[in-house]
Amino acid sequence: MRKVITYGTYDLFHQGHYNLLKRAKALGDYLIVGVTTDNFDLERGKMSTCNNVMERIDAVKATGLADQIIIEEYKGQKIDDIQKYGVDVFAIGSDWVGYFDYLKEYCEVVYLPRTEGISSTMLRQERPTVRIGVIGTGSIASRFVPESKCVNSVEVVAAFNTNLQECKAFCDKFAIECADTLETLFEKVDSIYVASPHYTHYDYVKKALLAGKNVLCESPFVFRKEHAEELYGLAEAKGLVLMVALKTAFCPAFCHLVSLLKSGVIGDIVEVNASVTTLTDETSEKMDSKRYGGSMSENACFPLVPIFKLLGTDYKNINFYSKMKNDVDLYTKAVFRYDSAVASFQVGLGVKTEGNMVVSGTKGYAYVPAPWWKTDYFEIRFEDQNKNKKYFYPFAGEGLRYEIKDFVSGILSKDYFFSKVSKKENLAMAEVQEKYIGNKNLFRL
**Interface positions with ligand C2G (CB under 6 A):** 7-11, 16-17, 20, 36, 72, 92-93, 95, 114-115, 118-120
Quote the least distance from Cβ 10 to ligand C2G, whole Å.
Answer: 5
Quote the least distance from Cβ 253 to ligand C2G, whole Å.
Answer: 20
Closer residue to ligand C2G in complex, CB, 91/130: 91
Quote the least distance from Cβ 125 to ligand C2G, whole Å.
Answer: 15
Cα-Cα-Cα-Cα torsion 182, 187, 191, 197, nearest 10 degrees, comes to -10
- β-bridge partners, 343: 272, 336
Find the DSSP H helices in 269-340.
295-299, 301-311
321 CB-near residues (< 8 Å, 6+ apart) = 332, 333, 334, 335, 443, 445
Angle between helices 225-238 and 201-210 (to 10 degrees): 20
Sheet of 389-392: strands edge to edge? 389-392, 377-381, 365-368, 357-361, 269-277, 342-348, 328-337, 317-325, 442-444
The answer to whether the beta carbons of residues 274 and 357 sit under 8 Å apart is: yes
Quote the least distance from Cβ 43 to ligand C2G, whole Å.
Answer: 11
Quote the least distance from Cβ 331 to ligand C2G, whole Å.
Answer: 47
Quote the least distance from Cβ 20 to ligand C2G, whole Å.
Answer: 4
Closer residue to ligand C2G in complex, CB, 56/420: 56
Closer residue to ligand C2G in complex, CB, 103/357: 103
Closer residue to ligand C2G in complex, CB, 308/393: 393
Run of H or E including 236: helix 225-238
| Distance, CA of 227 to CA of 271 (rounded, Å) | 30
- Cβ atoms < 10 Å from Cβ of 111: 17
Quote the least distance from Cβ 46 to ligand C2G, whole Å.
Answer: 7
Closer residue to ligand C2G in complex, CB, 89/301: 89
Closest CA to 74 of 303, 391, 376: 391
Closer residue to ligand C2G in complex, CB, 37/419: 37
| Distance, CA of 328 to CA of 288 (rounded, Å) | 7
Closer residue to ligand C2G in complex, CB, 117/239: 117
